[in-house]
Structure formats: structure tokens, C-alpha cells
A and B are shown apart, each in its own frame.
Chain A
Amino acid sequence: MKIIDPLPMYTMWLREMIRFFRMKARLVSSFMMPLLFLAFLGIPLSLLPSGSMPGIPESMNFLDYLAPGILGMTLLFSSMMAGASVLWDKEFGFLKEVLVAPVNRLSIMLGRSLGGMTTSIIQGFMIIGISVFMGVNVSSVSGLLLSIVFMVLICATFIGFGVILATQLGDMEGFMSIISMIQMPIFFASPAFLPMEMMPHWIKSIICLNPFTYGIDGLRGSLVGYSTFPLIHDFVILLVISVVLMILGSYCFEKMEID
């Protein structure tokens, strides 16, 4: 058998697409939180005099700083859920149908991940649209294209992580009960909200260990032209982590049994 079966992989992707556009309620609700953050946190704080926050250059207002962080948050949450969708399928029995098909599991995993990535990035672009509407200045078109690279990497990282978590926990209840305990620290221990220059020293070191930090930094660098680390530095770190997590995720999925 081939390592990758293209048609089944495409089919898994297609299914994610059909389902995504079917669940309109989920789509609408996924914009709620980003919108609230931008409106009630971003806009008021952007009224502070420029240069009053360490780590944000004087030429930049806070809304510009925050928007890539909120974009990253949306990707983080939707990717983790995409990774966990394997559990929904298990719950509804559909996973068995997939697992008895003569298709290797790597293709299934990749197709599913590509589907999750596509839907996350579509949501991401909608967030960018909303941000621009609210007055965020996107630096350039090339920057916008570069941001896609970082979106893909963030998605791959956290879909992989979601799948590992999902296969280890085995059921939806278990997953849902610990997901916020994991998501929120990942989100807050990053420069998504506030620059790490404002954090105490010990938090800074945690932030530097968080892969999400490099995703946010990369998004910010490409979208609004300001980053803490060089972009290539962000890219390489995130690339390595995402590849490792995807491989681990595939391995866990491969070993999964249905009882």
C-alpha cells in the first residue's frame, strides 16, 4: 500500500469542508470571543498615549498589537477542536467506518488535519477582515501572504497536539474537562495580549518555552510589521515543533483501538 492515498485524503478534507459550512451556528459563535476582545479590550486600550506600554513601539497603537494575538487565539482554539474531532467521530461511531477502510491512517490523519487547517484559516481570514474593519493597519499584501505560512504552522502544531490529547484521553468528556485547563495557559503565557516586556522575569521564561509564542510573534511580524524575534527564528522553531507533533499525532492515531 502507498504511504499516502490521495483520494481518501481529499475525501476526509472534503468532509471537513461540508461539515464546516453546515454548522453555521458554530461559525457565528467562533467570532464572538475575538470580536469582544477587539472591541472591549483593544479599542479602549488603544486610547492610551503611545509609548506607555513597554514592548510596544511608539508608532504602534494597541489595537494593531492585539489583532494578531486574537487571530492566533482563534487558530489555537479551532485547531485544538479540530484535533479532538476524532473523538466526536468516535462518539458517533463514524470513526469505525473510517478505520476499517483499506486506507492507511496517516492519510486519514493528514486529510483530517488539512481540513481542520483550511477551516481554521478561513476563520482566521474572517478575523483579519473584522480587524481591518475596526481600524487595524495591515502592513502589506506580502505580509498577509506570509501570515498564511504562520497560520498553517500554528494549526499543524495544535491539531497535532489535539489529536495526541484526544487519543490519549479516549473520550469526549475527558477531553472537554481538561481542554480549557490546557488552552488558557497556552494562550495567556504568550505575547498574544500583552508584550512579554511587561511580564515578570519568571513568566518570561515560560513564555519563551511556549510554541504558541512564536506563532503569535510570526503573525504579528508578518501582519503589522513588528516582532520580538526575527521571523526566520519564529518560522524554524514552529516548523520543527509542528512536524514533531504531527508525527506523534499520526502515531497515536495509528495505535488507536476501538472497543
Chain B
Amino acid sequence: MEDIIEVDGLTKKFGDLVAVDHISFMVKKGEIFGFLGPNGAGKSTCIKMLTTLLRPTSGSAKICGYDVVKERDHVRSYIGVVFQDRSSDRFLTGRQNLDFHARMYSMSKEERKEKISEVMDLLELNGKENIRLNNVSEGIRRRFEVARGFMADPKVVFLDEPTIGFDIKARMDLWNQIRRAKEKEGTTVMLTTHYIEEADYLCDRVVIIDQAKIVAIDTPDKLKEAVGTNLISLQIDCEPKVRKLENRRFSNANRNNGDFMETIKKLDWVKRAEEYSNSILLNVESGDGRVPELIDFADENGFIISSIDEHKPSLEDVFLHFTGRAIRDVEGGVKGMKKKGEIK
């Protein structure tokens, strides 16, 4: 398959701040390609460079073979963009906004009419088109913007955080609508998101971006495989309040995560242990009864497990694995420290 987006060493600096740091990737025709990362990772800046709104500081990017700086008029005629923040005229109705867009792309009257009803069907907007946008819900307005993105027969549609602020039902609907629109119009889609589920559900391939750099790039399944097949995350109670039990086995409790990391090496079915800010993630060989076995093991060695959970890897774990931080932590502004302890 041909590469429809080619990005090579793209960099953007705002003064001393490096917003996007030498990123390179290719997007194949017909893919839904996702940029996953916390807020402030540089996703939107990257999209703005690819959509010709910002000039890169260095590096290059091509869309459909056209350079985003030197041939930006060509690039503009091949792309549809749905911006992160509102970008429609709220004093006009949904239909007027779509019509306005079509005219900007010099579409004829018949083309406009046909295309508007087509995208309104795809995004399920019929009946809403004659209301001024300051009187419709945020979700509807957003869907009009997505509809608009697909309207002028773009080769690539960029969606910057398409479902931000949506409830789960609206989000699922929009995902399906985006998929359908992509199939119907035969476009390539590149989206940014900080929602793990969104990247997982919607994207064929995902780039994980953190602090302006790409940390991993692959299909969601392959990324998860890289983390492991079975994961157990657990928390050690470092200051147990249950000492009053004065149980013999807890006599040497009050140990910390580091001790546990050392001790766990004794278990041969633990392939890898990683420690994050307050939890430990174990990559284990598959088998039955791993959790009870682990609890017994902790008991015998004088650790108190305050919580434990066995799960299949998610992109959340992938993010944790590659950046050492949970995506939630980054958003909350808390930077989890990463200490890795490789076993075997």
C-alpha cells in the first residue's frame, strides 16, 4: 500500500519549548491512524503543521506527495480537518456551515446539495440542519464539524480529539459514524486522542507520543503483545494499619515496593516486573491460579497486598510500559517515577 502521509524529522519549537521533537512516521492509504498521548504531548501542534496552519521549525512532511510548506495549496485541496476546538460559525445553521464549506471548495450547486445530504446521513444529522449552531448541543455541533471534514472529497481527514467532552454513548456513536464515513468516502483518517479506548477501538495503527517524542508505533494488538500476554498489577501496603493483629507472619511487614521487587525474582513464572509510582506491574506466564499463588507468596515473605488485579494488556498498560507513566497521571500533572526491574 502506498504511503499517503510521510513525515520525516518534523520539529516545532516555540521559543525554548520543543512542542514536537523530530518525529517521523508514515500513514498508509485507507488507514485510521491514531496519535495517542496525554494533553500537551504535541499532538495538536503536529496536526497543525500537517494541515498547513503552522510552519515546522525543521523537518518535512508530505501529504499525497505534496510538501506541507512548499506546496500548501495542493495539500489544502486534499485534506479535511476537524479541529480540537470549535471551528464553525455559531451564528449560522448547520446546513449553512456545510454549504459555506462546500463553496470554499468551489463545489457546484448540485454537488453541494448531494454531498451535504450524503454527509448528513453518515453523521445522522437529518432534522438538525436548520438550527443555528449556538442553539444545538456540543455533540451535534461536533458532528456537523466531522461531517464538514468529510465533505469536499478529501484524501485525508484529520480529526483532532474528535470526541473530547462526549459521554460514552455519544462517543460510541461518533466512532461508528467516523468508521462508516471513512469506508464510504474511501479516505484515510488521522486522529489524535488522549482516550485509550478511542485509539483501541478506532485505530488500525497507533503512535504513542509523549513529551513531544514518539515512543512506540504499531497496531494496537502488537503494542499490547509487546507488553506481555498476562498482566497482574498489585499494590503493596507499605504502612499497614493492621499491625495490631500482631500476626507472626506480619512481624517483618512494612516493607516497601523495592523489597518486593527483589523478592519476586524468586518466582520463575514472573517474566518481568515494573514499578510505577505506587503500583507494581507483573508480566506473568499464563496459567491458572496465579493471583492466589501470588497472595500466598507475599504472605510468606511478609508483604501485605492491598489490591491486586489480573488483566489482559490494554493500551493503558502499553502507555505505562513505554513512558513509565500512566496517561491519567500525566493529565493530572503528577509525574510518576519509573523504576524498571527486569527479571530474566
A residues at B contact (CB < 8 Å) = 1, 5, 7-8, 10-11, 15, 18-19, 22-23, 92-94, 96-104, 257-259
Q: Is B90 an interface residue (CB 8 A)?
A: yes
Min CB distance B66 to A, Å, is 11
Are B88 and A97 interface neighbours, CB within 8 A?
yes
Are A8 and B87 interface neighbours, CB within 8 A?
no
Are B83 and A15 interface neighbours, CB within 8 A?
no
Min CB distance B135 to A, Å, is 13
Are B103 and A104 interface neighbours, CB within 8 A?
no
- By a CB distance below 8 angstroms, the chain B residues around A98 are 104
- 20 A-B pairs within 8 Å (CB atoms) are namely A1-B73, A5-B106, A7-B103, A8-B106, A10-B103, A15-B100, A19-B89, A19-B92, A23-B91, A92-B86, A92-B90, A99-B52, A100-B52, A100-B76, A101-B105, A102-B76, A104-B73, A257-B55, A258-B54, A259-B54
B residues at A contact (CB < 8 Å) = 14, 48, 51-55, 73-74, 76-77, 79, 81, 83, 85-92, 96, 100-101, 103-106, 148
Are A97 and B106 interface neighbours, CB within 8 A?
no
- By a CB distance below 8 angstroms, the chain B residues around A100 are 51-53, 76, 79, 81
Are A94 and B106 interface neighbours, CB within 8 A?
no
Give 6 A-B pairs besides A11-B103, A104-B73 with Cβ atoms closer than 8 angstroms.
Answer: A19-B91, A19-B92, A92-B90, A93-B83, A102-B105, A103-B104
Interchain CA distance A7-B74 in the complex, whole Å: 18
Are B53 and A258 interface neighbours, CB within 8 A?
yes
Min CB distance A205 to B, Å, is 43
Are B100 and A11 interface neighbours, CB within 8 A?
yes
Are B87 and A7 interface neighbours, CB within 8 A?
no
- By a CB distance below 8 angstroms, the chain B residues around A7 are 103, 106
| Contacting residue for B87 out of A18, A96, A104, A257, CB 8 A | A96
- By a CB distance below 8 angstroms, the chain B residues around A18 are 91-92, 96
CB-based closest 3 A-B pairs: A102-B77, A11-B103, A93-B87
- By a CB distance below 8 angstroms, the chain A residues around B96 are 18
Closest chain A residue to B12 by CB distance?
A259
- By a CB distance below 8 angstroms, the chain B residues around A15 are 89, 92, 100
Interchain CA distance A102-B79 in the complex, whole Å: 9
Interchain CA distance A1-B14 in the complex, whole Å: 31
- By a CB distance below 8 angstroms, the chain A residues around B76 are 100-102
- By a CB distance below 8 angstroms, the chain A residues around B103 are 7-8, 10-11
Closest chain A residue to B96 by CB distance?
A18
Min CB distance B22 to A, Å, is 20
Min CB distance A92 to B, Å, is 7
Interchain CA distance A117-B73 in the complex, whole Å: 28
Min CB distance B184 to A, Å, is 22
Interchain CA distance A257-B48 in the complex, whole Å: 10
Min CB distance A19 to B, Å, is 5
- By a CB distance below 8 angstroms, the chain B residues around A11 are 100, 103-104
Interchain CA distance A94-B88 in the complex, whole Å: 5
- By a CB distance below 8 angstroms, the chain A residues around B101 are 97, 101
Are B86 and A93 interface neighbours, CB within 8 A?
yes
Interchain CA distance A23-B79 in the complex, whole Å: 33
- By a CB distance below 8 angstroms, the chain A residues around B48 are 258-259
Interchain CA distance A238-B87 in the complex, whole Å: 36
Min CB distance B115 to A, Å, is 15
Given contacts A5-B106, A11-B100, contact A97 B53 (CB under 8 A): no
Given contacts A8-B103, A102-B73, contact A94 B54 (CB under 8 A): no
Min CB distance A99 to B, Å, is 6
Interchain CA distance A23-B51 in the complex, whole Å: 32
